[in-house]
Amino acid sequence: MEAHLEKDREGGAGTRSQQESDQSRIPKLIKKRVCTTFVEDTLSNGALCQCGGEREKHDSVATGDYFGPATVTQWDSRQHSSEYPTDAFGELEFAGAGRRHSYFLRLSCDTPPHTVYNLMTTIWGLSLPNLVVSVVGGEGHAKIKPWVRDILRKGLVRAAQSTGAWILTGGLREGLSRCVGDAVRDHRAAASAVSQKKVVAIGVAPWGLVHNRQQLVNAQGSFPARYDVQNTTKDTCCLDNSCQAFLLVDNGSVGKRGVETAFQANLEDYISHQRTGIWGTGIIEIPVLCMLISGEPGILERLDASLKKATPWMVLAGSGSAADFITDLVEGDGTACDRVHEKVQKHFPAEAEQEKLVQTALSIYQRRDLITVFNGEQEGPDDFDTVLLKALVRASKRVSSKASEYIEELRLAVAWNRVDIAKAELFNGEIQWQYDDLEESMTDALINNKPQFVRLFCGNGLNIPNYLTNERLETLYRSLSDTSLAYILLQRHLNERKSLVGSLPSVDGGASGVKKSFQMKVKTPTSLMDITLYEVSRLLQDLLDDVCGPFYYQTLGLGNGMGNRRTIKRIKKILQEKCTYRNESCPSPWAALFIWAVLQNRAEMAIFFWEMTKEPVLGALGACKILRELSKLESDTESKLSMKQLAQRFENLANDLFGECYQSNESRSFTLLIRKSNEWAGATCLEMATAADARLFFSHDGVQSLLSQIWWGDMERNTEVWKLILAFFVPPIIYSNLIKFREPEEEVSLSAFYPIRDNDSIEGIDVLSMSDDGVQNEEDLEEEKSLKVNIKDSVQTNSKRPFIVSRWRQFWYAPVTSFLGNVLMYFLFLCLFAYVLLVDFKPPPPDGPSSMEFVLYFWVFTLVCEEIRQTFFGGSLFLSQRIKKYIQDNWNKCDLTAILLFLLALMCRIFPWSFDFGRALMAIDYMVFTLRLIHIFAIHKQLGPKIIILGKMMKDLFFFLFFLGVWLMAYGVAHQALLYAYDPRPTWIFRRVYYRPYLQIFGQIPISEMDADKLEESDCTYNHTEIEAGAEPCLSIYANWLVVILLVIYLLFTNIVLVNLLIAMFSYTFSKVQEHSDIYWKFQRYNLIVEYHSRPCLAPPFIIFSHIHILIKRHIRRIPSGKNQHFVLELKGRKASCLSTWEAVQKEDLLSAQNKKLRESDTVRLQRTSVKVDSILKQMAEIRDHDRRLRVLETQLDFCCSALSWMTEALSQSNVVSTSRPPPLHKDVTPLSPS
């Protein structure tokens, strides 16, 4: 299966070489512009063209006709330049930058914007933006004010990081572009890897202004091109290494500014018509905002053109000439239109074409509602994102007059994933939200993984049971990302269905209301457009194996027992009809959304949906199982690790929640473990935990307590084992007080599994009596009545049984009794087997077999009958699933091997010609039967963990044997080649290459063959013919000394290095497993308890009577087993709702405790302290600002006082004003202390 996944992934996610091959096709799509006609620049004395290039680089010269000089006086890009395939594209490596490569592309100014946008998002792999901010102004070496830098760093970049935005900038290390680059660089230095990906800086610069642009030229593409940042000239500037991509716009000119303006405006306009989210599933188009900082007069034309396309602008007041002019223009009074000329003269006194600026300004003023003025000196960078949101909302209202302001603001907040803005501005209690208002935003939040908004919507009027219909659930699965593992698995099941029934019509044909209900265009991949709940059910069935029944079969109108082909035909018929099931509500909406989130490995969203599910313990274990199965199929290392971590997190949640339940009520927690779930297709917590390998969950005291209760049956748990063994040989002691039993079986079952008399209350209300207030329906009343009748009948039945019979059943029906009986009889079986094999193994017929051997054969026959019962008559699974489940167990494989060897040995011992071979097989088979004892003693508390450690060490031993085999072969072949020049006998080659070097490890070294001084005379020959005839070859003494050296090296490595390596591996494994050995053993103990719980009470060979009894009772009389309720209990109606309510209360208590613990943690305390410190610093900054203003007022007051004093003195010395009283005297006020 993993090989298929790798093949599927190769088609979905390309490697680096594939990306380079994709980029190599860029010249076919993208062109560059080259000036081909020389138009003389009069200022350069004919040396340069008006494009800025030299005369020698042009193919032709613009000349006059026969009647006069040249009539071409102005260079035009469209007329005097031509397009050629681009020769500058690929990846860019900045020398000494030490960061990831950037993408770059030289393109013509007439390139269609959709081509560039698709190239950036598909070939370059840039993340789709939720916002595009184009920073305009501050060209050249204009000086940027310090507070503007703070706005860019703390306002713009932070808003871009929180929303996932593209920042379009000039891309050059000059002026405003350099400030934006520094802000992005500072953000990357302090942000995490995930936050860095959310801010994408794209430089749009003129090709002719790029310094060292020849380093980028390569017709085949550069991967990468090394770019040196050097001192620039007045006509060029270096690229800024903070940008992830560069669009180098070319119109054929060199050293000219403004080349990129028209292309950038067209690109912004195209992006503003694309939708946000995965596959363009967002509810809004990508918002685009132009931000004007400073700027020259020429920027007004760009501003006017963008406003005509309804692109909103934000102007930074006080940042520079053009921005100040727009601020004055927009914030002026009603007569601003009449005073535009004065404003132009005020802000641009040196501009020649003022009439043109006036007309442009009047056009801008007519669309002033698209302009938002941000006063950074007064509002500060913290308010930037809120002002940004308001600006885009204002623009969206102008475009769509029918749109509600609050809905548009909500859509933008969802697109940016700014739940803080939504809570502060929209969900503060002042707005009454309706279901229809939140429906589209909820879909956007689900598809694009915004769990905080999902939580917010669910808490503010969105009803999930009404929201989640079956068609909406299918649409959610169709919106999966093509890079996810669930997408590949669903696609495979869809292809399997189509291959069986042929191509079907589009599933949307039966449900015309899909697009209408969502009111948006969902762009899902074509391969998943036909996805249905059937494919989801098949996927879950593969991941959960036989733990659960099939999901959504009842919704689709399918039967659980239907075969695959029959199910496919039924699905085809349903899809070709009206598909009425799509209009129905999903039966378990929270569980369905929980599974959908888990399949995509969305941790935070899955946790939220888990908190809302009805069966949280089972849900957490189910998620653990799904994630661990997906991690086995996932090839990406990072995704595999995250899946394993999330699976462990869910296992911890299940363990903690069950701990809360166990502390609250022991009997109900037992019922919780064995309750049959409707949401999870009939699974139980114990079954799911076993399938998920949830060892931590099994190690919980509550789980072990239930297992111990089942293990001991009705006997006391502290009963000594010797008493049970004594009862096997002296049965009457069962009726004595030597073996103590608990309360009667019916009372235990009622208190443990039917806790209807438990009076635990929840918030003062009896949980189990909530239906006594007249709210019971007829089904509950009928079920309660039947339950009471069954209990009454059960009590009467048990009371009618004599004490002798009931006590006999209590003893022999306990799993521990069955286990001890099987152990004793198995030891007896091994003794019988050994006796027959060693003493009473008669020759073939007619002399044998003996009577004891016939007893052995019958004993093995009863063992075979038990294995057949376990395989073919256990559970409600299909036959193939039962066989698969049986073979998956390693000890069942051991049993199967032992039985097959015994049958083969039995057939061989019957015939004289194969008698010895059959006896040898019997001996080997005895070893296999004896090793089976290891599994039996796994129940022991001390031996069980050691058996687990032994199994782990066997894996280490295989690695040791691999290294040992390498050295054995290396030394053995060299040893044989050096001592024997020619010996073609295969048996002796094998003995000398493998067998003899292996014995030398243990000290058996033949010195007489290796040491030339101790060679013994023997009858040998060097003749090849005689050797081939069977003569003994003579030893070669030529390189005898080399054999001794090789022996020393061989023994040094094997006896010291490899043996010590094996010891170290064993020590590491022992210490590693010993720490968790108790957890491993408790998990393994469950499987053994289940096995002996399902076994008949009698042990082989007497088990044959139990098999006959079971055959008559279960398959002829159809009487169900009473043991099933010990591990599977089906609750309905009142009991099920009461248990779910109690479990939900325990879950709320657990979440409250976890939240309280989180609030008291050091990390949260530091965060709160940091917020408080930031608030204090902000207040201190405001205080300093007020202090500065007061100082200015004091200075002005001093000036006014001085002026008034001067006026008073002047008037007092003149006769202009006559007074009847003297002037007032100045009263001195004692200044306050500095403190």
Does residue 959 carry a pLDDT above 90? no
Give the residue-averaged pLDDT of 929-956: 82
Contacts 24+ apart (CB under 8 A), 366-371: 367/307, 367/308, 368/329, 368/330, 369/394, 369/398, 370/307, 370/310, 370/311, 370/312, 370/313, 370/394, 370/395, 370/398, 371/307, 371/312, 371/313, 371/314, 371/315, 371/326, 371/330
pLDDT of 874: 62
Task: Give residues with Cβ within 8 angstroms of 212, minimum separation 6.
Answer: 227, 228, 230, 238
Q: How confident is the model over 128-154, as pLDDT tens digits?
A: 888 888 998 877 666 788 888 888 887
Does residue 381 carry a pLDDT above 90? no
Residue with tokens 């691999």: 962
Inter-residue contact 1129 to 754 (CB < 8 Å): no
Q: Pick the residue with more confidence: 507 or 404?
A: 404
Residue with tokens 């004010």: 145
Does residue 1175 carry a pLDDT above 70? yes
Q: DSSP letters along 344-407, please?
A: HHHH-TT-S-HHHHHHHHHHHHHTGGGEEEE-HHHH-GGGHHHHHHHHHHHHHHHH-TTS-HHH
Lowest mean per-residue pLDDT among 58-72, 409-423, 451-465? 58-72
What is the per-residue burial (b if ≥16 Cβ within 10 Å, else e) of 407-445? bbbbbbbbbbbbbebbeebbbeeeeebeeebbbbbbbbb
Interatomic CA distance for residues 686 and 610, integer angstroms = 19
Query: Residue 292's beta-bridge partner residues?
Result: 136, 315
pLDDT of 13: 43
Interatomic CA distance for residues 978 and 513, integer angstroms = 85
Q: Pick the residue with more confidence: 548 or 1233?
A: 548
Interatomic CA distance for residues 453 and 130, integer angstroms = 15
Inter-residue contact 438 to 461 (CB < 8 Å): yes
Give the residue-averaged pLDDT of 792-808: 63
Give the residue-averaged pLDDT of 896-909: 93
Give the residue-averaged pLDDT of 252-265: 85
pLDDT of 380: 65
Q: Report how many helices (DSSP H) and strands (DSSP E) the chain contains, helices first.
A: 56, 16
Inter-residue contact 265 to 302 (CB < 8 Å): yes
Q: How confident is the model over 1129-1148, as pLDDT tens digits?
A: 888 888 888 998 999 999 99
**917: confidence class by pLDDT, cuts 50, 70, 90:** very high
**How confident is the prediction for the chain on average, in pLDDT?**
79
**750: confidence class by pLDDT, cuts 50, 70, 90:** very low
Give the residue-averaged pLDDT of 437-459: 88
Lowest mean per-residue pLDDT among 142-146, 796-800, 952-956? 796-800
pLDDT of 607: 95
**195: confidence class by pLDDT, cuts 50, 70, 90:** low
- The closest of 677, 705, 703 to 689, measured between CA atoms, is 703
Inter-residue contact 482 to 12 (CB < 8 Å): yes
- The closest of 205, 211, 154, 159 to 182, measured between CA atoms, is 154
- Report how far Cα 719 is from the mean position of its chain's Cα atoms: 49
Lowest mean per-residue pLDDT among 513-522, 536-545, 667-676, 1107-1116? 513-522
Give the residue-averaged pLDDT of 694-719: 89
**876: confidence class by pLDDT, cuts 50, 70, 90:** low
Percent over 70 (pLDDT), the chain: 82
pLDDT of 518: 35
Does residue 755 carry a pLDDT above 50? no
Considering 22-36, 509-523, 1049-1063, the range whose residues carry the highest mean pLDDT is 1049-1063
Does residue 1218 carry a pLDDT above 70? no
pLDDT of 655: 94
pLDDT of 19: 59
Q: Pick the residue with more confidence: 964 or 951?
A: 964
Inter-residue contact 697 to 653 (CB < 8 Å): no
Give the residue-averaged pLDDT of 881-892: 79
Does residue 782 carry a pLDDT above 50? no
Does residue 398 carry a pLDDT above 60? no
Lowest mean per-residue pLDDT among 269-278, 327-336, 529-538? 327-336
**796: confidence class by pLDDT, cuts 50, 70, 90:** very low
Q: How confident is the model over 268-308, as pLDDT tens digits?
A: 889 888 887 665 566 678 888 898 888 888 888 888 888 88
pLDDT of 278: 63
> What does the block give as tokens for 689?
């935990």
Q: How many CA atoms lie within 13 A of 993 on its CB side?
A: 15
Residue with tokens 């703390």: 154
pLDDT of 1077: 75
Interatomic CA distance for residues 592 and 530, integer angstroms = 19
Lowest mean per-residue pLDDT among 608-622, 887-901, 1167-1181? 1167-1181
Interatomic CA distance for residues 462 and 536, integer angstroms = 25
H or E segment to which residue 224 belongs: strand 222-227
Percent over 90 (pLDDT), the chain: 17
pLDDT of 789: 41
Does residue 346 carry a pLDDT above 90? no
Inter-residue contact 399 to 312 (CB < 8 Å): no
pLDDT of 936: 79
Lowest mean per-residue pLDDT among 668-677, 761-770, 845-854? 761-770
pLDDT of 1122: 60
Q: How confident is the model over 67-77, as pLDDT tens digits?
A: 334 456 788 88
